[in-house]
Amino acid sequence: MTPEGLAHWEPPPWELDPDGEDVLPAPASHLAQGSAGEGAAEPSGEPGSVDGLALAVEVPEDLAEEDEPLPRGEVTNVALVRVKTSTRLQEFDAGELTLRRGDEVVVQGDRGQAMGTVVAPSLRVLVTDKTSRRVLRRTTEHDIIQRERNEDKGREAMPFARERIAARKLPMKLSRVEYLHGGSKAVFYFSAEGRVDFRDLVRDLAQRLRTRIEMRQIGVRDEAKMVWGIGVCGLRLCCHRYLTKFEPVSIRMAKDQNLVLNPQKVSGQCGRLKCCLAYEQKIYREQRKGMPKLGKHVQTPEGLGRVVELDILARRVRVSLGMGRSEVFSADDLEPAPPPDRRSSSPERR
C-alpha cells in the first residue's frame, strides 16, 4: 500500500449483526486489492490480522522493559470490623453480605467466634492474600442473648479467679474475664511486671469452670483501655473511646509543649505518659522552627535581651531587657545576638 492510498483512507464504521455481535465490514476495494506497484497488501489469514490487514501494536518502551508480572488475586467483599475481644481494626471477608457502618455482626476470627461492629462499609477489592477471617452473619436476637450470658459468666468467674491468684501468691493483676461467643473458651486478661507461672492456676480454673482456659498477659495501657475510666479532661479515656493502637510518647513531647514536668500532670491513669501529648506534637514542632530557646540572648528592636518565656502556638517571645523590664516580641522580629567579644573583657596582655 502506498502512502497516497493511506492519505485518502478513512476507518469504516462498525456494524452490528442481527445476533448482536460487532463485526468489521468488508474492506474498501483499494485496500483489498492494494495499489499498483510494490507493497500491495495480500490476505494472509494468519492470527493477528483482520481480513488480510496486519495488526500492529506499538508498546511503550517503559512497559516493554517491565518484567514484573501483574498482581494476581481475586475480588473479595471486605469489611472493616472492630471486634469486641480485640483492640484493633481488622479486615474480614463479608462474602455476599452488604454491610454498612454500625452493623453488628458475628465473625470467625483467629481465636474463634466473636461479635463486632462494622467500622467501614463493605467494599469489593482485589486481594492477593486470602484471609481466613470472615463474617458469619448479622447478629440476631439469639446472639444478643448469648452475649449477655457470656458477660454474666465472665463477671461470675472474676471473684473465684482472684481468690485463686491470692491463694497461690501469684504476682499478677487480673483485669477482665471474657468468654468467646461460642462459649468454648474463657480468656483471662492480666497484667504483670514479668513472666508468671500460672499452670496451677489454669488447672484450678478449668476444674471449676469446665471450659478451655486462655491466659493473656497485657500491658498497663491495654489494661486502662479495657477497664477504662474518666480522664482529667472529664471525658472517657481516649484509649477506650477510639484509639486502635498506641503511638510512642516521650518526655521530649512535654518539653516541646512547655508543660510542667510533673509526673502527676503528664501521666495518665495507666501511669504512663498521656497519649494526648502526641496529638499536637507535629503542630508544636512546626511552630517552634526559627524560635529561640529559653535563656538565649537575642537582638530585639529595643536592644539586647534574654529569652525568658515562649508562646509557641502564637510564635511570641518574652524577652528580659534588664533593670526588671521585659517585653513581648514576635519571633520573626528577633535575631540571634552576636557572640560576646572576649578580647574586650579579658585583661590586656603585658
Greatest mean pLDDT among 159-163, 236-240, 336-340 lies in: 159-163
What are the CB-based long-range contacts (under 8 Å, 24+) for 209-214? 209/157, 211/179, 211/183, 211/184, 211/185, 211/186, 212/184, 212/185, 212/186, 213/185, 213/186, 213/188, 214/111, 214/185, 214/186, 214/187, 214/188
Residues 187 and 124 in one domain: no
> Residue 203 has what pLDDT?
92
Residues 193 and 259 in one domain: no
Q: How far apart are CA 87 and CA 253, in angstroms?
A: 25
Q: 96-127 b/e with 16+ CB inside 10 Å = b?
A: ebebeeebbbbbbbeebbbbbebeeebeeeee
Task: Mark which of 173, 192, 218 sits at the end of a domain.
Answer: 218
Q: Is 68 a domain residue?
A: no
Residues 15 and 80 in one domain: no
Q: Is 203 a domain residue?
A: yes
Q: How much is the average pLDDT of 189-215?
A: 90
> Residue 86 has what pLDDT?
65
Q: Is 65 a domain residue?
A: no
Q: How much is the average pLDDT of 312-336?
A: 86
Q: Is 66 a domain residue?
A: no
Residues 78 and 131 in one domain: yes
Q: Is 97 a domain residue?
A: yes
pLDDT, one tens digit per residue, over 242-269 is 787 788 888 888 888 888 888 888 888 8
Domain tally, the chain: 5
Q: What percent of the chain is predicted at pLDDT more than 90?
A: 11
Global pTM value: 0.61
> Residue 41 has what pLDDT?
42
Structural domain range at position 305: 297-341
Q: Is 175 a domain residue?
A: yes
Q: How much is the average pLDDT of 72-86?
A: 78
Residues 100 and 131 in one domain: yes
